[in-house]
Amino acid sequence: MKQTVKTTLATLAAAVCWVLAHPALAQQEPVPMRGADVAATDQAPEVKKYLGGKPGGQDKVARTFDGQPPVIPHAVENFDEVTLDENQCLSCHGADTYQKKNAPKVGDSHFRDRDGKLLKNAAAARYNCSQCHVPQVDAPPLVANDFKGAVTVVKSGKKN
Ligand code: HEC
Ligand code: HEC
């Protein structure tokens, strides 16, 4: 008998033995972890509205660890245009506009390049704000967890 045939027979015999030893398990249908059959098309998640209204009416959201980019407490739907010519976030949070708009100024760290050199304007690496600062939705965590955060660095409710 050829080696491959021998191996196949041995595998088959092992499978038969396993089914005989675990009849209940062998009958059980596998339960997919994502709740749908492998071949089923993914369902788009429910669209949720971001929390918060017009900038100026919200309290800041407490930070939960040192170095966390603060989350955006206000609505962003009409204020999120970031293009080469225009950055609506900077039109309120920029060093030359924040006082007039009564908005918190971009972080001091945003005025340093990657070598730590102080710049006149916010560094280009910080131009795409929503890469780090994210609006919030009221949604349950995707995975249950007991994260507590480092409460010593919490800053909240304070403007500017
Ligand atoms: C019309 C002015 C305006 C625009 C445009 C705007 N913001 Fe704000 N932002 C504010 C004000 C005012 C606050 C203070 C909270 C409040 O009152 O809503 C704030 C708060 C924040 C905070 C919280 C800061 C902290 O220390 O907790 C972040 C982060 C932020 N904005 C990011 C952004 C980003 C990113 C954009 C662009 C997508 C943006 N904002 C557009 C005015 C603005
Ligand atoms: C690479 C990530 C990153 C990008 C991009 C970025 N930020 Fe930040 N931002 C942070 C972090 C981290 C902090 C908190 C630490 C600090 O102040 O540097 C922060 C702090 C802030 C604060 C609070 C400052 C304070 O006084 O506490 C504001 C407002 C802010 N950023 C606005 C912006 C805006 C507007 C943009 C786009 C022009 C932007 N950030 C781009 C990471 C980022």
101-124 pLDDT, tens per residue? 999 999 999 999 999 999 988 899
Ligand 1 atom 21 nearest Cα: 72
Closest ligand to residue 69's CA:
2
| Residue 98 exposed, middle or buried by CB count within 10 Å (0-12, 13-18, 19+) | middle
d(CA 41, CA 35): 12
106 C-alpha to ligand 2 centroid (Å):
5
Ligand 2 atom 14 nearest Cα: 69
Q: Which amino acid is at 155?
A: K
Ligand 2 atom 27 nearest Cα: 107
Tokens of 1: 């008998």
Average pLDDT rounded to a whole number, residues 93-103: 95
Q: Under a CB-based contact definition with an 8 Å cutoff, are residues 106 and 95 in contact?
A: yes
Length of the chain: 160
d(CA 80, CA 144): 30
Ligand 1 atom 26 nearest Cα: 70
Cβ neighbours around 95 below 10 Å, total: 15
Shortest CA distance to 149 belongs to which of 62, 64, 63? 64
67 C-alpha to ligand 2 centroid (Å):
10
d(CA 121, CA 103): 17
The count of C-alpha atoms lying within 13 angstroms of the C-alpha of 103, restricted to the half-sphere facing its C-beta, is 21
Give the residue with greater pLDDT, 158 vs 107. Answer: 107
Closest ligand to residue 81's CA:
1
Tens digits of per-residue pLDDT, 42-94? 878 788 888 999 999 999 999 988 889 999 999 998 877 889 999 999 999 99
d(CA 79, CA 155): 24
Closest ligand to residue 72's CA:
1
pLDDT-wise least confident of 28-42, 76-90, 131-145: 28-42
Ligand 1 atom 32 nearest Cα: 72
Cα→Cα distances 43→17, 34, 46, 102, 125, Å: 40, 11, 9, 42, 35
CA 25 to chain CA centroid, Å, is 38
For ligand 2, residues with CB inside 6 Å are: 67, 69-70, 87, 89-90, 93, 104, 106-107, 109-110, 122, 126-129, 131-133
Predicted local distance difference test score (pLDDT) of residue 156: 47
d(CA 51, CA 32): 33
Give the pLDDT band of residue 8 (cuts 50, 70, 90). confident
Nearest atom (ligand 1) to Cα of 55: 18
